[in-house]
Structure 1
Amino acid sequence: MTPNAIDWNKEWKSMMTKSMGEDLPDCAQYWNTAESARRYLRDYGRESAGHIDRVSATLEALSLTPDLRVLEIGTGPGVLAVPIASQTAHVTAVEPSDGMMTVLREYMNEEGVENVRCVQKRWEEVTDDDLEPPYDLVLASFSLGMPEIKAAIEKMNAVSSGRVCLFWHAGEQQFETLYRLVMPHLRGTDYVPGPKADVLFNILYSMEIYPDVRHFNYEQVHVFDSEEEMAEYFQYEHQIPFDIGNPGLKTYLEEFVEEEDGRFVHYEEYQSMMFQWEAQ
């Protein structure tokens, strides 16, 4: 790196700090109850046709084989870990949230999955004693909330004997559109987005990692039987009050929600990038 080059790791941390606040709250705080984790699995997991399409596309992109040993960082309620475990030899699931870990174990039991080792820690806190290497694939899917992202990636490389695969946001996500519209009226400040795939790519490039890159465009449809049910979803999923007097929320609902036969249909689209490489 030349003296005048951009320090992309520093840029990532700065953008993450500005987006999340100076205290950098742990992402696990957002999903710390089993009820919120069950809602997440319901809305983005096996019960959602839109999510099943996303899971299928992800599993196909990972090129899984029965002999693979996989480490997933930020497993959540098992949206990917459980189907991956059913197709591979072993999965180590790293997840810090109490609620997510509870629901992950529930999901594993329901599906009869027994080849998963659960590690309830943040990735930064995981030690060699927590792991069962070698891992043929290290995966992090939309779970890169670490402010020190370069160190986190170096740690992933160190425990992989094969591939590392990262999924991350590309462009403004629809939930960010919601925040951009709502926050000025709710808090009197503009919403500041976090770092996107372009920053992540530059971090990898500065580390002399030149990944294969693939773009995904996902669509998600949520159908609510009542306005109350829709309000509950927005409050738990996005943690903002469902105040239709908020001009920003009104604008968002007019653009992305349609009323059909007394039901409310929420259309969501989000772009992502997959970065995959052989560990160095």
Structure 2
Amino acid sequence: MHRIIDWNELWKAVYAASPLRKKKDLDPGSAWDKKAAAYERAVNDEAAIAAQEVGMMALLPGDRVLDMGAGTGRLAVPMAQVAAHVTALDPSERMLEKLAAGMAAKGLTNYSCIRMRWEDAAIGENVEEHDVVVAAYSLGFYDLGAALEKIDAAASRSVCLFWHAGEWRTPAEIALRQAVFGGEGEDVGYPDYSYIINILHDREIYADVTVYEAVLTNRYASPEEAAEEWATLHEAPEESLGTVAEHFAAMLEPDGAGGYLHRKRRRQAMIRWQKK
């Protein structure tokens, strides 16, 4: 059937619109090395939603799982508590160090780490085929079609992808990004899961989709701590820290014990397909 819309080319156009994103792509490992500590703090409060997502994958005790873009182990650690072995692949050495510490804290040894960009992976050569491949919020590639083809080739039984459904940023966060970055702040988001589904469909991969609501609650000692974490993760200029702190002072809720909570609700999607 003739394609009227080339979804992968549309994705590329959105991707290329962001100068900030193209700068990060020059050396993603180094970029994430600088953010590893802040990222770990940001996801430490997501144990409940991570456990929910691992449960959605239907992993088997004998599974060998490849976590592409594993980060600090938000999913890799709970997956290792279920599966036979988890291979964590990430371009950042510091992120993988945090992941290894998380595994050690749980007494887990059934894992291995590969420090590599997914673009440099060659299935059957430097990355083995696994029963299941997981990619959670790690699909920020210029050529998403090529990345998805490689993910599919790396899985012998199933693939599980996680991505946002609809706009993942709140209106307040969009306004903050525009205040901090100006016009460039408008071009940093990615299209939602509908693009991924259509890119897969064009490759005759027909996936199931589960859309669900995630309630995320982060805890902070102060608005300033929240602002510093956000500024680090988003590479905000130092002179904007006051603006970021004002945003969080308005958004955070007291937790009744001297700290603060930041609550967010997001629609997310699991995209899953079976190989056989």
TM-score over 0.5 (shorter chain) = yes
CA contact (8 A) 2:119 2:147 kept: yes
Say yes or no: does 1:230 pair with 2:226: yes
Letter aligned with residue 228 of structure 1? E
Which residue of structure 2 lines up, in the alignment, with residue 65 of structure 1? Answer: 60
CA distance in 1, matches of 2:52, 2:106: 20
Say yes or no: does 1:110 pair with 2:109: no
The number of residue pairs the alignment matches comes to 269
- 1:160-194 per-residue CA deviation (whole Å, 9 max, x = no partner) reads 110011111111113x6455202433343151232
Say yes or no: does 1:2 pair with 2:7: no
Q: Equivalent residues in 2 for 1:136-215 (5 A)?
A: 136-174=131-169, 177-189=171-183, 191-192=186-187, 193-215=189-211
Q: Equivalent residues in 2 for 1:82-93 (5 A)?
A: 82-93=77-88
Say yes or no: does 1:25 pair with 2:24: yes
CA contact (8 A) 1:168 1:274 kept: yes
Distance 1:41 1:21, change over 3 A: closer
Letter aligned with residue 14 of structure 2? M
Gaps of 5+ in 1: none
- 1:213-248 per-residue CA deviation (whole Å, 9 max, x = no partner) reads 1012111222322233232222223333584764x9
Q: Give 1:109 deviation, angstroms.
A: 2.5
CA distance in 1, matches of 2:263, 2:112: 36
Which residue of structure 2 lines up, in the alignment, with residue 272 of structure 1? Answer: 268
Gaps of 5+ in 2: none
Which residue of structure 2 lines up, in the alignment, with residue 53 of structure 1? Answer: 48
Say yes or no: does 1:80 pair with 2:79: no
Q: Give 1:13 deviation, angstroms.
A: 1.2
Question: RMSD over aligned Cα, in angstroms?
Answer: 2.5
CA contact (8 A) 1:220 1:269 kept: yes
CA distance in 1, matches of 2:65, 2:216: 27
CA contact (8 A) 1:179 1:191 kept: no
Letter aligned with residue 222 of structure 1? N
Q: Give 1:124 deviation, angstroms.
A: 1.2
CA distance in 1, matches of 2:21, 2:69: 22
Q: In structure 2, the residue corresponding to 1:32 is in which secondary structure?
A: helix
Percent identity over the alignment? 32
CA distance in 2, matches of 1:25, 1:43: 20
Say yes or no: does 1:132 pair with 2:135: no
Letter aligned with residue 233 of structure 1? E
CA contact (8 A) 2:227 2:248 kept: no
Letter aligned with residue 133 of structure 2? V
